[in-house]
Amino acid sequence: MDDKAAKPAPTGTTGPAGPTGPTGPRAARKRQAVVRAARDLFLREGFGVGMDAIAAEAGVSKVTVYNHFGSKEALFTAVVAGALDEPLADGGPAGGPDLARLVTAEGPDELKAALTEAGRAWGRAVRADAEGRALRTLVATELHRFPELGRAWHAHGPAGHHPAVADALRTLADRGTLDIPDLEVAVLQLYSLLVFPQMVFEQYGTELGEELGERLVVDGAEMFLRRYSPAPAP
């Protein structure tokens, strides 16, 4: 595979296949069909899947695939990089937690309830996001073969929504609802308690269990608040 990529000039008579692919309305439809099929198959079968299979799944001739993307490597990187950006466009596949409810919570009880519900939402999102899981595994597997994915990768992953969570915690701290000396650590601890267990176990096929997950979320929220609740004024 690598020797082919070392070809000095991949000039083919079929098409340019370089920066500019085919244009037009029908080309856009076909291109999208190819991207969709390639993403599904790459996520399910890995990079080893054949181009014929991708073309067949897309209902498209193999030559069309090569007219749009010049090589298997280009198709792979384009599709995976695109899939990395997708979850940030919409609000995520299963919907993230309701951060607004966190910052508007009044009183310790309501805050705890909001935090627990946020943990449940994260758990649901992680559990339902089989596609994201496969994407992470795929990128981790092929990172050494496609180093350019590393650049696109580092911006995403588990650090994806850190800014929003950090903003929510900072607001709570400014308001005096919480006492957070180290914001960066607090954000990571919140993820550690409410998200990472689900992620780690789900990633490796092990089931955490509905009821154990609930206990973890409830007690995790309890733990987080007990750590960062301000000491009552004496």
Binding site for DNA (CB under 7 A): 3-4, 10, 12-15, 17, 22-27, 30-31, 49-53, 59-64, 66-68, 70-73
> Scanning residues 130 to 149, which ones bind a copy of itself (CB under 8 A)?
136-141, 143-144
Decide whether 138 or 165 has the Cβ nearer to a copy of itself: 138
CB atoms within 10 A of CB 216: 19
Q: Which of 139, 144, 3 is nearest to 71 (CA)?
A: 3
Kindly tell me which residue out of 48, 107, 176, 234 binds a copy of itself, with binding defined by CB under 8 A: 48
Q: Which residue type is seen at 67?
A: N
Task: Provide the phi-psi class of 209: left if phi over 0, else alpha when psi is between -120 and 50, else beta.
Answer: left
Kindly tell me which residue out of 2, 25, 89, 154 binds a copy of itself, with binding defined by CB under 8 A: 154
Q: How far is the CB of 137 from DNA (least distance, A)?
A: 19
The kind and range of the H/E element at 205 are none
Decide whether 21 or 132 has the Cβ nearer to a copy of itself: 132
Q: How far is Cα 186 from Cα 67, in angstroms, rounded to an integer? A: 49
SS (H, E, C) 33-53: HHHHHHHHHHHHHCCCCCHHH
Residue ranges in contact with a copy of itself by CB under 8 A: 44, 46, 48, 136-141, 143-144, 150, 153-154, 157-159, 182, 184-185, 188-189, 191-193, 196-197, 199-201, 203-206, 212, 215-216, 219-220, 222-224, 226-227
